[in-house]
Structure formats: C-alpha cells, structure tokens
Chains A and B, each alone.
Chain A
Amino acid sequence: MLQNIIDVKNLSKSFDISSKEPGLKGTIKHFFRRQKKSLKVIKDISFEIKEGEIVGFLGANGAGKTTILKMLCGLIYPSEGSILVSGYLPFSRKENFLKNITLIMGQKQQLIWDLPPIESFYLNASIYDIDKFEAKKRIKKLSEMLEIDEELFIPVRKLSLGQRMKSELLAALIHEPNILFLDEPTLGLDINAQRNLRKFLQKYNKETNATICLTSHYMKDITSLCKRVICVHEGAISYDGKLDLLLKKLSPVKEILIVCRSEEDAIKLGNSGFTVKNKIKNEITIKIENNSITSSLKTILNNFDIEDLFINEPPIDEVIGKVLIKKDYDI
C-alpha cells in the first residue's frame, strides 16, 4: 500500500492587509492611521497525498492554490493546523527536507541572469552537496530528458522563455527531489514547449516515482498529468478526487454528431425523442446522458441508416470553469 507523503490537517492561513480609501483624503488618513484587517485566505483544509501521485490544484485567481503550495514547501508559515511533508514540518526547513523537495514557479527564476545556466547548475549542485562528477552525470541525464544542449552555455538573458524554463527545471531538479511543487510551470510557454514540459514531467514521475503537486490554468496540463485534482474555492476545498469523476459530474451529457445517409433519416432521428442541438441537412447533433450512451447508440444504429458518428467531449476548459465558480462538489 502506498504511503502518505503529504498530510495536511485543518490548515488555515491568514494575512494582515491594510486597506486605503481612494483620493487625497484617503491617502492622508492612510498615512496617519492604517486600517488593518486579517484576511483568512486558506480555511481549515485537510487532505493527504500519496507517494508518486500527481495532484493538480485547481481554482480561480486568488483562490489560494499557490498559498497552499508555499505552505507545503515551507516558504510561508501556516497560521493554524498541521502539515507533514515526507515526515517533516515544512517550515522548520530541515536540511534533509529541503534536499527532498523543489519548488518551481513559472516566470520566477533562480538562474543567474548574466551567466550561462551551467554555472547555476554547478552552484546548485554544491549547495545540495553533490560532487562535481555526480553533478556532471545528472546534468547530462536531465539535459537529455529536457532536450537542451547548447543552451547550457549561453547566458540566461539570451535564452528564449521555453529554453529558460527548461534550464530552470534542470536547476530545480539537480538534487533529484522526491516531491515537486510546480506553480504554473507552463505559464507563457508556447504549445510545443508546454507539451515537451508535460512529457518531461510524466517521464520524471515514471522514472523516479516523484510526487508532483501542480497548479496550472492550462487545462491540458491538468488533464494530461493529473488523475486527481483538488479544487480550491475561496480558500476552502470544494472537490478532492478523481478528475474523470469530476468531469462526469460536471458534464453529464455528451454531444453526438450523427451523419445520416439521407436528410429524411436525419429528420426521422430528430423526431424520435432525442434532444437535438442542431441539424444541418443530413447531419444532426444530439445530446445523450452519459449513463445511457451505449443503449441509445444501439437503438440509433439499429433503427436508422447511419453513415458516420462522432462522440464529442465538451470542451474541458468550459467544464472546469464551472468548478472555479462553484463552492462545493459532492461526488
């Protein structure tokens, strides 16, 4: 049985924020007397993550996904509750814990801007107590997996965003961490670079059984990497479970495009009790509930002269978009 590598219980986080009224009056008032209030951004959340799992954190901007990741990796201090990651309290930042994790934030870099990435890699290697020979071996292996070569020797400032992101990944993975916290890793990358990065993460997870916690606004990242998702809405967990179950729940019907042999068949099919979305000549699109797809298709194929049919999944962004605005999903 797989062990829990992340254990979060009743976790909350509050930030003190000061607010200011607009205009000169507000500015003067703000100068002499700051209105401060405590804002609870994470509200009593609990979850567990097993070793080797890839979990996607979904939520609208400001929902609290990144704050959760920052607490999990020990970057910020929780206000209430407990977190255990790999048996450690993250915020105590014990050396063995830090050697086990990595955090990658899209658009934020740790590479030294004016030097080639290779310099940062060797620097990170020495920070993580990796000897030069071993570091060389790991750089070679990771650069092959990430398909970067000449870029290693070009100053970071001259690299493209995609090349830089790959180099960032290499720098963040040189110590072979078991737990990866990825906050919008594909932000700003083009479609090919996004795909390559996803392929790399899948490969890394398969080869090392690393646990990956990921936030992304690109649904393709979530659907191709994560079997499980945790939806965060206004600091609370609105859903924690399998992605396909969530999709089924959110989109109970499928659209079927049916190409009939003749227009009469299409008309007959349209009048046979199915919900019709649209009809153009001999092509008709109907909506069928997920739980009756097999029986409905059997009926259609037996009773109508069908040339071709296509089952369309509803656009994933549209479906997930519902999660971002709804408070609770009880599956």
Chain B
Amino acid sequence: MISNLINRKILTLLKVQYSNMLEYRVEIALWAISGIIPFFMLNIWTNNNLNESINISSTMLSRYFLCAFFVRQFSVVWVVFSFEEDSLMGKVSPYLIQPLNPFFRYFAQHLAEQITRFPFALIIAFFFFIFNPESIWIPNLSILLLSIVSTFLSFLIQFLIQSIVACLCFWTEKASSIERLLFIPTLFLSGLLAPVVSFPAYVKSWIYLTPFPYLIDFPANLLSGNKTNIIGGLIMQILWIFILFPLFKKIWSEGTKKYTAMGS
C-alpha cells in the first residue's frame, strides 16, 4: 500500500518532469554531446599504445570507453546545483511543507533527463561504431541487465553523495564549492579518464575501498565484457548505498532545523 502510494507519486513526478525535460530537447542533446570525454581519452590511449601496458586489447579498450560514456550519461548528477539555487532563492520552501521529501523531485528530474538523453546517447554510439566497426559487440542479456542495475546503483551512489553535499547548504550556503572538490577524485578515480586497472598497485589497493571506482569503472567493465568481479562490485555498490542513505537522512534532518527560508 505504502509502496504503491510512493510509486504513484514518483510515477507522476517522473511523467511531469519528463514533459518538462522535453521542453529542453536541444539543451539535452548538447549535454549528451558534452559527455564525450571518454572518447577523447580513448584517442589518447590508442594513439600512444598505452593499452599494451595494461594487457588490454585496443578493441576492448574502445568498448570500455564507449561503456564509460554510456554509464556516465545515465549516472550524471547535478542535484547539488539545483538544490543550492532553490534553497538560496527560497524555492524549496513550498516543497518542504508538502508530504514528500523535496529530493524526490530532484530524483525524478534526473531520471526524466536520463530518459530524454537516451536517444541522443544511442545516436552518438551509432557514430562511434561507424568509426570503430571492430568494436561492435552484443552483450548477453544477463550481462546487459546486470549492467543496467549497476549503472542505476552508480547513479544512486552519486545522487546520495551529492544530496549529502547539497544538504550542507543549510550551513554553508555555497555547498557546490564542496562538490567541486569531490569532482576531482570522481574524475580521476572513477575510471572516466582511465580504467582503474591501469593504476599502480598501491593506489588500487585503497581506491577500491572508496565509492569512486563503482561509479564508472565497475559498470563500464561489466558492460564491455572486461574482466571484473561482478558479485564483489555489486555488493560494494549496495554497501555504499547503505552507508550513504542513513547519512543523508541524518544530515537532512539536522539541516532542516537550520533552514532559515531565505529569499521567501
């Protein structure tokens, strides 16, 4: 019953946010195109034959970076910026006194944006295969489903991390600057610029204890068919969600006590 009600709220939110996102088709196409960092990285790796140093074929490396692009497309999060703006402008006030946590709105907004992005990401993948026909492959159904789950879990981890940072708006007002600090490890340790396997052993030993490699590297390896510990990766993703969710709830409950409803 409760889950039905939540589902109904989320579904309606999703439908409304999807309609809203369709108002911004061009912007979303541009955002999708702006996420092509992995292709630049692929170019650097293959031109310098760096793949040989980590015993990975150039085809598998191409697939890895294409998958990294896909995972990034469906796990990118900007809730801290939206929440910060809404919080500073007082827009969050009406949502705070509705019987639904305002973060559900942002959550639905992200999901709706991902749905809108999907066709653009497919078009980019189509062109990628035209230029790299040797990289064409069809993942088996179970791997595809696990990759979708893993990408969604990656999205959840990033959403929770950013939501926690966003809640710092209740104390600092400019929480996005903290997010910028987090962007550096996200960029370097997530596998967006290089597969984590290419890092020195001593770095790898502690990177895997952080949430970062489970954001891009793990789902991208899973989808591209590279060697990866599937069960271990999924467990770590779920574990991070279990760590981050109560932390978010605690910081949210403490933060709302500090809320001053500025700008309203």
A interface residue numbers (CB < 8 A to B)? 15, 70, 73-77, 91, 93, 95, 98-99, 101-103, 105, 108-110, 112, 114-115, 119-120, 122-124, 126-129, 172, 183
Say whether B16 contacts A108, CB under 8 Å.
no
**Shortest distance between the CB of B87 and any CB in chain A (Å):** 12
**Of A74, A93, A122, A172, which contacts B16 at CB under 8 A?**
A122
Q: Is the interface of B mostly helix, strand, loop or mixed?
A: helix
Instruction: Return the chain A residue nearest B98 by Cβ.
Output: A127
Say whether A108 contacts B23, CB under 8 Å.
no
| Contact A75 to B259, CB < 8 A, known contacts A127-B99, A129-B5 | yes
Instruction: Return the chain A residue nearest B9 by Cβ.
Output: A126
B183 in the interface (beta carbon within 8 A): no
B226 in the interface (beta carbon within 8 A): no
B19 in the interface (beta carbon within 8 A): yes
**Shortest distance between the CB of B105 and any CB in chain A (Å):** 9
| Contact A126 to B8, CB < 8 A, known contacts A75-B259, A110-B95 | yes
Residues of chain A lying within 8 A (CB to CB) of residue B97: 73-75, 93, 98, 101-103
Say whether A108 contacts B93, CB under 8 Å.
yes
| Contact A108 to B12, CB < 8 A, known contacts A74-B97, A101-B97, A129-B5 | no
**Shortest distance between the CB of B113 and any CB in chain A (Å):** 14
**Shortest distance between the CB of A177 and any CB in chain B (Å):** 10
Add 12 more A-B contacts to A75-B93, A115-B20 (CB < 8 A): A77-B256, A93-B96, A98-B97, A98-B99, A108-B91, A110-B94, A114-B20, A114-B24, A119-B16, A120-B16, A126-B8, A126-B9
Say whether A75 contacts B261, CB under 8 Å.
yes
**Shortest distance between the CB of B250 and any CB in chain A (Å):** 16
Assembled-state Cα–Cα distance A272/B95 (Å): 65
**Shortest distance between the CB of B254 and any CB in chain A (Å):** 10
Say whether A76 contacts B260, CB under 8 Å.
yes
Chain B interface residue count, Cβ-Cβ cutoff 8 angstroms: 29
B90 in the interface (beta carbon within 8 A): yes
Say whether B20 contacts A95, CB under 8 Å.
no
Say whether A112 contacts B20, CB under 8 Å.
yes
Residues of chain B lying within 8 A (CB to CB) of residue A183: 264
Q: Is the interface of A mostly helix, strand, loop or mixed?
A: mixed
Contact with A along B36-61 (1 / 0, CB 8 A): 00000000000000000000000000
Instruction: Return the chain B residue nearest A155 by Cβ.
Output: B23
Residues of chain B lying within 8 A (CB to CB) of residue A73: 97
Instruction: Return the chain A residue nearest B108 by Cβ.
Output: A123
| Contact A115 to B16, CB < 8 A, known contacts A108-B90, A108-B94, A110-B95 | yes
Residues of chain B lying within 8 A (CB to CB) of residue A77: 256-259
Residues of chain B lying within 8 A (CB to CB) of residue A128: 98-99
**Of B9, B93, B95, B98, which contacts A105 at CB under 8 A?**
B93
Assembled-state Cα–Cα distance A130/B12 (Å): 12
B13 in the interface (beta carbon within 8 A): yes
B100 in the interface (beta carbon within 8 A): yes
Residues of chain B lying within 8 A (CB to CB) of residue A75: 93, 96-97, 259, 261
Query: CB within 8 Å of A: which of B72-106?
Result: 90-91, 93-100
Instruction: Return the chain B residue nearest A181 by Cβ.
Output: B97
**Of B8, B98, B258, B261, which contacts A98 at CB under 8 A?**
B98
Say whether A123 contacts B13, CB under 8 Å.
yes
A77, A99, A120, A126, most chain B CB atoms within 10 A: A126
Say whether B19 contacts A115, CB under 8 Å.
yes
